[in-house]
Amino acid sequence: MAGNADHAVDYAAGMLMAPTSLADWLIVAPSLITIIGGASLVMLRYQAKWHGYLACFYLAALVLVDALLLSRVMVEGPITMTMGRWLPPFGITLVVDALGGLMALIAAIVALAVCVYSLADISVTSTRFGFYPALLWMMTGITGSFLTGDIFNLYVWFEVMLISSFGLLIVDGERIQLDGAMKYAVLNLMATTLFLVTTGYLYGAVGSLNMADIALRLREMPEGAAPMGTIATLYLLAFSMKAAAFPVNFWLPASYHTPKIVVSAIFAGLLTKVGVYALIRTLVLVMPEGRDMLSDLIAWIAALTMIVGAIGALAQNDVRRTFGFLVVGGIGSSMVGVAVGTQDAITGAILYAVNSILVMTALYLAFGILMRKNGGKVNLADLGGGYRASSWLSILFLALVFAASGLPPFSGFWPKMVLVESSLKEGYGWLAFSVLISGFITTIAMGRVWAHAFWRGGPIGTQDGRDAAPLYTLSEIVRRRVFVPVMALVAMIVYIGVYPSPVFSVSQYGAATLLKPDQYFDAVFGPVRAQEKERAEAQAVEGHRLNEASENGAVQNSEGAH
């Protein structure tokens, strides 16, 4: 501190003295890329035509950085970086483990796909209103949530994500968007405020905000010393609201069909999964005791969420709202894993979240292509003739229908299999049954969407499409920009379905780190412990030397040696 030079300040006691290695800057790079990228686009607001390309460039860089991070985590275990080099329980620590790295990578891939699609879908007006900066800043919040190791910091990233998502939701300011945004904004704000309330309680009970530190302290506390039940229940409520789990899910189908299709796609893919991620992080890693208390409640919530999602999907005429209910159902499947809580179950939850991110985004985008072709019709009764208009699109869509329902050989099959198996093993037979029954209802609902939109020759009321108006054909450049992202996502879904072991092993490693978090704790506190050990040794040597010196009668002033 300035003005304090009259007495020596021992920085080494309060800071990490080892310099941050260059490779560790990778951990903070995702946030930097997206924040600086968004800011640069705001500065270039009069060059709207560059926005899309630049945003795609930044997101491609984000994919690259996240891939590097994940590959490093898979080799070295969790890696950390502490802001300002303050000692970890005090400074904000960013931690990348396999779960966070995997989610961040998949999120970045999906965002890149959405960005490429936006090149054909976002008008110059929307660009001027700041669509791309909001997209990049939302990715800042999402990636930050996945990579932080500090619970208050997680709250801040949630808010970054939320305020940018408000911007994306109302970018055109239409009536329906304002209506949907009112419900979305108020209920999501309440959820994050509830998260903050709970964090306040947790801080009051434990006295720390660093996730690893809280987890260690809670494990050492005698039973009943902290109000674990209250805190875990409040976190469950807050993150369930964020993730749209059953009793608090109604904001999602009320708002997700109102914005542009690209915005719906990225919201459906990513926002609710951040809630699931936070739920896994807090309940499994930070307070496993709380999860054990609540496991039956979570199991009920999971089952009801799956069933409500599937039945809700069946009852909708607007296809985008059908998809909204599918998102809800997918959250239920992921929560099955949290409820069961074994390593296999958590693996299944992570895998399902990955599958759901890819499939929901691809579904909205594929349906967006169909909407472009039929002039924006969304009601099931008005759709038809999709197969004749584009056989490629109908094949891609059918693959997504299968993946969303959890049928092989697509990515939805494996997580459901793992979840069913692990719930049967833990005696949750009824939970396994609800996974299967919700998958069955989803198959009916999605099969009906495909049959009406693609297989039928024309809308209901026409004689099998013979007197229906033909669908539009897209220009070459538009076709390339809308089909490439959907094809890429479907290719990933098929790849994971046919060859699941890479993603499976990453998820399994992530689940193992959550359940036996010694590696995680070592990564956070390792540098501090090493430094303390070094100091203790140095002091021992120093003390030894001083003793010898005083024995010899040659007392030296050793003040300067520090």
Partner 1 sequence: MEGVLSILVGIFFAVSIYLMMSRYTIRIMLGVAALSNAVNLLIFTSGRLMREVPPIIPEGASVPAMPTANPLPQALILTAIVISFSFLAFLLVLAYRAYQELGTDDITQMRVAEPADEDLPPVSY
Choose, by CB under 8 A, the member of 54, 67, 74, 163 that binds partner 1: 163
**Smaller CB distance to partner 1: residue 64 or 311?**
311
DSSP-assigned states of every residue in 331-391 = HHHHHHHHHH-SHHHHHHHHHHHHHHHHHHHHHHHHHHHHHHHHTS--BGGG---HHHH-H
Whether residue 365 contacts residue 481, with contact meaning beta carbons closer than 8 Å, is answered with no
SS3 (DSSP) at 81: strand
Residues 6+ apart with CB under 8 A from 264: 256, 257, 320, 323, 364
Task: Scan for tokens 């930070």, then name that residue.
Answer: 286
If one asks whether residue 170 binds partner 1 (CB under 8 A), the answer comes out as yes
Return the axis-axis angle of helices 518-551 and 501-515, rounded to nearest 10°: 50
Task: Scan for tokens 């693996």, then name that residue.
Answer: 347
If one asks whether residue 31 binds partner 1 (CB under 8 A), the answer comes out as no
Whether residue 468 contacts residue 459, with contact meaning beta carbons closer than 8 Å, is answered with yes
Choose, by CB under 8 A, the member of 144, 180, 415, 500 that binds partner 1: 180
If one asks whether residue 156 binds partner 1 (CB under 8 A), the answer comes out as yes
Pick the stretch among 3-11, 296-304, 364-372, 540-548 that binds partner 1 (CB under 8 A).
Answer: 3-11
If one asks whether residue 379 binds partner 1 (CB under 8 A), the answer comes out as yes
If one asks whether residue 65 binds partner 1 (CB under 8 A), the answer comes out as no
If one asks whether residue 549 binds partner 1 (CB under 8 A), the answer comes out as no
Whether residue 276 contacts residue 299, with contact meaning beta carbons closer than 8 Å, is answered with no
Choose, by CB under 8 A, the member of 190, 407, 417, 546 that binds partner 1: 190
**Smaller CB distance to partner 1: residue 287 or 490?**
287
Two tokens, residue 530? 């090493």
DSSP structure class, residue 258: S
8-27 positions binding partner 1, by CB under 8 A:
9-10
Two tokens, residue 454? 């693609």
Q: How far is the CB of 9 from partner 1 (least distance, A)?
A: 8
Choose, by CB under 8 A, the member of 436, 460, 498, 549 that binds partner 1: 460
Pattern of binders to partner 1 over 337-366, x per CB under 8 A? ------------------------------
Q: How far is the CB of 1 from partner 1 (least distance, A)?
A: 10
**Smaller CB distance to partner 1: residue 24 or 382?**
382
If one asks whether residue 204 binds partner 1 (CB under 8 A), the answer comes out as yes
Choose, by CB under 8 A, the member of 456, 468, 500, 507 that binds partner 1: 456
Pattern of binders to partner 1 over 111-150, x per CB under 8 A? ----------------------------------------
- The letter for the amino acid at 62 is L
d(CA 411, CA 354): 9
Residues 6+ apart with CB under 8 A from 149: 80, 92, 93, 94, 95, 210, 211, 212, 524
SS3 (DSSP) at 285: helix
DSSP structure class, residue 427: T
**Smaller CB distance to partner 1: residue 232 or 511?**
232
If one asks whether residue 83 binds partner 1 (CB under 8 A), the answer comes out as no
Provide the binding-site residues for partner 1, judged by CB under 8 A: 6-7, 9-10, 152, 156, 159, 162-163, 166, 170, 173, 175-176, 178-183, 185-186, 189-190, 193, 196-197, 199-201, 203-205, 209, 253-255, 257-258, 314-318, 379-381, 448, 451-452, 456, 460
